Amino acid sequence: MAASVREKQAAALKRMLNFNTSPLKNTAAEPVWKVLIYDRFGQDIISPLLAVKELRDMGITLHLLLHSDRDPIPDVPAIYFVMPTEENIDRICQDLRNQLYESYYLNFISAISRSKLEDIASAALSANAVTQVTKVFDQYLNFITLEDDMFILCNQNKELISYHAINKPDIMDTEMEAIMDTIVDSLFCFFVTLGAVPIIRCPRGNAAEMVAVKLDKKLRENLRDARNSLFTGDNMGAGQFSFQRPLFVLADRNLDLATPLHHTWTYQALIHDVLDFHLNRVSMDESVGSEASPSGARPKKKNKKSYDLTAADKFWQKHKGSPFPEVAESVQEELDTYRAQEDEVKRLKSIMGLEGEDEGPISSISMSDNTAKLTSAVSSLPELLEKKRLIDLHTNVATAVLDHIKSRKLDVYFEYEEKLMSKSTLEKSLLDIISDPDAGTPEDKMRLFLIFYITALQPPSETDLDQYKKALLETGCDLSSLNYIKQWKAFTKIAATPSNYGNSGVKPMGQSVVINYLVRKNRVFKVFFFQNLPVTRILDNLMEMKSNPETDDYRYFDPKMLRGSESSTPRNKNPFQEAIVFVVGGGNYIEYQNLVDYTKAKPGKRVLYGCSELFNAGQFIKQVGGPPALGVRPKWQPITHIVHYYPMWPWSKVVH
C-alpha cells in the first residue's frame, strides 16, 4: 500500500536527522551522536511525528530551540531545522562566529533565497568556519501533518493567514499578496513531499481562486526547469499517488460558516471543541487534592496534565471518529478486558504458591515449572501495562469531556442544532434555550443563534431579531459576530453563490438520522450522519465527474500543460481515485470526520483534508467578531485584482 503523507514526511525528517542520507535498516551500528537545533516552526512539524525516544534512537542527544541560550559543544555535529527568516539567519551566523559546534548541517523548512545564503557564506568566511558548514538543504517540509489523511499549514503565527486576516475590510493589496504567497509556499512543499503534481479545481471569485492561480504558476515554473525540477526521479517514483494524478480541490471558508460553529458529537471533534487540544496533544487542568480549601485561603494550584493522542494509540485510532457515548462504552469494555487479564495473572500467582507474598514484579516468580501459561502472562506484561496507561488516559479525557457535556448541556445544543439544520419540528423555542441560565455558556448560546440565523430560509423580522438580541445580551453574549454574519448572509443572496444555501436551507451536519439510543444517566444521544457536508458534497461532484450547478463553473488547472488554460471543462473524464481537499480560511475536525466517513463508503478512494489553520468554534467566533470587527466599510477603494478575486466580501456590494 502506498505511503501516507504522514509516513512520507516522517521519512523525510528521519533522512534529514541522518545527515540527509537514507537510514540503514536492520543495522546494529551505533548512530552518530548529534544535536538538533530547531525554531518554533520546526518544533511544530517534528512533535506530532517523532517522539523523544525516536529522536534518541537516531542519535539526537539534545534538541534545543535556536533562540535559547546554548552552551558550546565543540566536538559534536549540529543539525539545524529552521525557517529561512532574517532573525534565524542572523542567529545561525552568530553560532558560526562563536564556534558552537564541530560541524553544521543547515536544513531550511522552505527554500532559502540566494541573498540569505550569501549572508551565511559571508559569516562562515569571516569566522573561518567554511569547512565546518558541511551541508545546506532546502527540505520543503513547511506544513504540519496531524493524521495519515490530514494536514495544516502552520501553528506559529497562524493569525497572519487566518480567516480574519483574509477577510478584514481594511486589508491592502500587498498584505493579501503576502498571505497568498505564504499559503502557496506551504502547499508547494506539501506536493513536493507527496511527490505528485495535482489537477487543481477551484471556485471563482474568492481567496481559493487566488491560491489556485499562484500554485499553478509555481508548479508550472518548477516543472519547466527540467534540471532542477522537484517532481522528477526518486520523488515521483515513490509518490503516494504514483499511478494516477490526484485531484486538488480548493474551497473557501465562506462557502460554509455554519459547520465551524456547530456543537459536535464525535470524540476527536469534541475534545478539540471543549478542551485545549493542539498538535495531537490535549492539556487539562487537574486540582491538587480533593478536599476544599479553607474559607479565605488561596485556592489550590492546578496541575497541567498533558496527553499525546498518537497513531500508536490503537484505541484512539479506532474511536476518534466515534460518537461520544460509544467511546464511553468502549473505555468500559477495555477496562473490563484489562481487569480480566490482570485477574488471570493473579490466579497464576496463586497456583504457583505466591498468593501470600507482597505485590512485586511478575518476573520475580520462580520459573522452575516453566508452564506455558505463566510464560505467556509474563511476556504479555509490558503490553498489559501499556494498555492500562491508555485506559487511564482515555478515562481521564472522556471524563473531562463528559463534565463539559453535563455542565453546559451540550447534548441539548447538539440535538437542537440537528433539528434546525434538518428542518425538523422543534419541541422547544430558541428563545427558551437562550434564556435558560443553566443551558450552556454565552458562547454556546451565540453559536446556536448564529446557526439558526444562517440556516433560516428567511431572516427573522426586525421585531423578532430585537427580541433575540435582548435575550442574548442579558445572558452576556457579544453580538459583534452577528453583525458580520448578517452582512455575509445578505450578500450570499445577492451573489447567488454555489453553496446550496438556497431553497432547502443550509445543512452543515446533514440530514442526519438520530438513533434512539439514550444513555440515561448522562442524557446523551448516539447519532450517525449519512449526509455530506458542503465541502464533502463539492468533492464528490468533482471526484466523480458529476454535472452539478454547484461545481460546473469551477476553474480547471493542469500545471503539466505547456500553456495555462482558462477552461472550466476538465480534460480528464474519468473519476478520480485520490483527492486532496484544502480549505482556505481555516478548517475543523467536523469536516475532516465527514470526509473520513465519505471515504469509508467509497472503497478504493483516498481523500486527504487540509486547511490553512485548525480552529474550534470559540476561536472562529473571535475571528468573525473580534477587533477590528469584520464587515466594516473599507477606508480605501479596492484594488482592481482584489475586486476580481474577492467579489464575495460583504462590503463590496452591500456597503455603499
What average pLDDT does range 431-452 have in this prediction?
93
Where is average pLDDT lowest: 386-390, 434-438, 503-507, 543-547?
503-507
158, exposed or middle or buried, with CB in 10 Å at 0-12, 13-18, 19+?
Answer: middle
| Angstrom distance (rounded) from CA 121 to CA 129 | 9
| Angstrom distance (rounded) from CA 293 to CA 287 | 11
What average pLDDT does range 292-310 have in this prediction?
71
The predicted pLDDT at position 424 comes to 76
pLDDT at 651 over 70: no
Which of 370 and 486 is assigned the larger pLDDT? 486
Contact 421, 510 (CB under 8 A): yes
Which of 443 and 628 is assigned the larger pLDDT? 443
Mean pLDDT, the chain, integer: 82
What average pLDDT does range 239-260 have in this prediction?
82
Helix (H) or strand (E) holding 584: strand 578-584
The predicted pLDDT at position 457 comes to 83
Encode 391-423: b = buried (16+ Cβ within 10 Å), e = exposed: bebbeebbebbbebbeebbbbbbbbbbbbbbbe
Helix (H) or strand (E) holding 466: helix 462-474
Residue whose C-alpha is closest to residue 539's, from 592, 603, 612: 592
Between the CA of residue 504 and those of 404, 511, 533, what are the distances in Å?
Answer: 33, 11, 14
The predicted pLDDT at position 197 comes to 93
Q: How confident is the model at residue 520 (pLDDT cuts 50, 70, 90)?
A: very low
Where is average pLDDT lowest: 50-54, 566-570, 579-583, 646-650?
646-650
| Angstrom distance (rounded) from CA 78 to CA 17 | 10
The predicted pLDDT at position 26 comes to 56
DSSP annotation of 587: B
E strands, 139-225, in order: 144-147, 150-152, 199-202
The predicted pLDDT at position 524 comes to 45
Where is average pLDDT lowest: 319-323, 380-384, 585-589?
380-384
Residue whose C-alpha is closest to residue 120's, from 102, 143, 137, 141: 137
The CB-based long-range contact list for 432-441 (8 Å cut-off, 24+ gap) reads 434/468, 434/471, 434/472, 434/475, 435/471, 435/474, 435/475, 437/475, 438/409, 439/408, 439/409, 439/412, 439/413, 440/408, 440/409, 440/410, 440/412, 440/413, 441/408
pLDDT at 213 over 80: yes
Residue whose C-alpha is closest to residue 190's, from 237, 137, 149: 149
Helix (H) or strand (E) holding 515: strand 513-519
Structure-block grid coordinates of residue 494: 445577492
| Angstrom distance (rounded) from CA 442 to CA 445 | 5
pLDDT at 232 over 80: no
pLDDT at 487 over 90: no
DSSP for 338-405, please give it. HHHHHHHHHHHHHHTT-TTSPP--GGGS--SS--HHHHHHHHTHHHHHHHHHHHHHHHHHHHHHHHHH
Helix (H) or strand (E) holding 82: strand 73-82
Q: How confident is the model at residue 183 (pLDDT cuts 50, 70, 90)?
A: very high
Q: How confident is the model at residue 83 (pLDDT cuts 50, 70, 90)?
A: very high
Contact 591, 533 (CB under 8 A): yes
The predicted pLDDT at position 288 comes to 44
The predicted pLDDT at position 507 comes to 33
The predicted pLDDT at position 347 comes to 74
pLDDT in tens, 400-427: 999 999 999 999 999 898 888 777 778 7
Structure-block grid coordinates of residue 194: 507527496
Helix (H) or strand (E) holding 282: strand 281-287
